[in-house]
């Protein structure tokens, strides 16, 4: 998908869990715009179940999409970033990385991104590559809207635990990502930044 109104915009449908498809997508971007030195690993799925009832396939799929795809994207961009002497990797994790009922696979994957980012920051630092993690809390998305409509009382109880007393917006998250990808963040690396309205503070 290419935009005629925005010539610098290229949309590519890609299964990021498929290593070959991901490499091909990066190659298309490179052919169109030149080597890329910025990567944002934002793919995520959920297959919730209690530990004792979680299917192996659901564990594997979440790890493959939510964690392994971020590693593969990093590898696909590594040579270009190293050659350029600059690079920005941002990984979208979640407040659920610290553990959440029914989400062993999701929590493990999102926590794994923190370890990945810190390692990339250490290894990539000499080449000018930074790596950081963004942990959104409750964000106003179609999924959140569905939850609010389906269980309004439960939603309000959940929001009442957020000091900001509201859900975040995609713009709230995008602003942090934009900063981390900018020259202004050249000395910010290996960090985990929460965009959660204070939820992670544990104060009601």
Please report whether residue 161 resides in a domain: yes
Catalytic residue among 91, 106, 187, 194: 106
Structure tokens at 194: 């929460």
Tokens representing 140 are 């106003």
155 is catalytic: no
Cα–Cα distance, 96 to 177 (Å, whole number) = 19
Model confidence, pTM: 0.92
DSSP state, 192? E
Would you say residue 4 has pLDDT above 70? no
Q: Is residue 162 part of a domain?
A: yes
Q: Which helix (H) or strand (E) holds 187?
A: none
SS3 15: coil
Sheet holding 192-195, edge to edge: 38-41, 87-92, 129-136, 192-195
pLDDT over 70 percentage in the chain: 97
Decide if 202 is inside a domain.
Answer: no
Q: What is the mean pLDDT of residues 77-105?
A: 96
Average pLDDT over residues 101-120: 97
Neighbours of 69 (CB within 10 A): 23
Q: Which domain holds residue 76?
A: 19-195
Q: Compute the average pLDDT of residues 54-77.
A: 97
CATH of the domain at 75: 3.40.50.720
Q: CA-based Rg of the chain, rounded to a whole angstrom? A: 18
**Residue 58: inside a domain:** yes
CA 143-167-186 angle, to 5 degrees, is: 100
Higher per-residue confidence, 106 vs 203: 106
Distance CA 68, CA 136 (A): 20
The answer to whether position 74 is within a domain reads: yes
Per DSSP (E only), the strands in the chain are: 38-41, 87-92, 129-136, 192-195
Q: What is the pLDDT of residue 7?
A: 79
Q: Answer whether residue 71 is part of any domain.
A: yes
Residue-level pLDDT at 67: 98
Provide mean pLDDT across the span 88-113.
Answer: 96
pLDDT value of residue 131 = 99
Q: What is the pLDDT of residues 8-56, one digit of tens each?
A: 889 999 999 999 999 999 999 999 999 999 999 999 999 999 999 999 9
Number of domains in the chain: 1
For residue range 186-198, what is the model confidence (pLDDT) as tens digits? 999 999 999 999 9
In this structure, is residue 200 part of a structural domain? no
């Amino acid at each position: 998908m290419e935009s005629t109104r925005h010539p610098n915009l290229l949309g590519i449908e890609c299964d990021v869990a498929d290593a070959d498809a991901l490499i091909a997508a990066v190659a298309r971007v490179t052919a169109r715009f030149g080597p890329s030195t910025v990567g944002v690993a934002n793919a995520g799925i959920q297959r919730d179940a209690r530990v004792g009832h979680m299917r192996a396939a659901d564990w594997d799929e979440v790890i493959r999409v939510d964690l392994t795809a971020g590693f593969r994207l990093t590898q696909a961009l590594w040579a270009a970033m190293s050659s350029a002497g600059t690079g920005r990797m941002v990984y979208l994790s979640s407040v659920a990385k610290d553990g959440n009922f029914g989400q062993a696979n999701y929590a493990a994957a999102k926590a794994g991104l923190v370890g990945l980012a810190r390692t990339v920051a250490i290894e990539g630092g000499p080449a000018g590559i930074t790596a950081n993690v963004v942990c959104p809390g409750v964000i106003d998305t179609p999924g959140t809207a569905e939850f609010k409509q389906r269980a309004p009382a439960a939603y309000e109880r959940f929001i009442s635990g957020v000091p900001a007393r509201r859900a975040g917006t995609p713009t709230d998250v995008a602003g942090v990502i934009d900063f981390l990808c900018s020259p202004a963040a050249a000395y910010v690396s290996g960090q985990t930044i929460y965009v959660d309205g204070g939820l992670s503070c544990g104060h009601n």
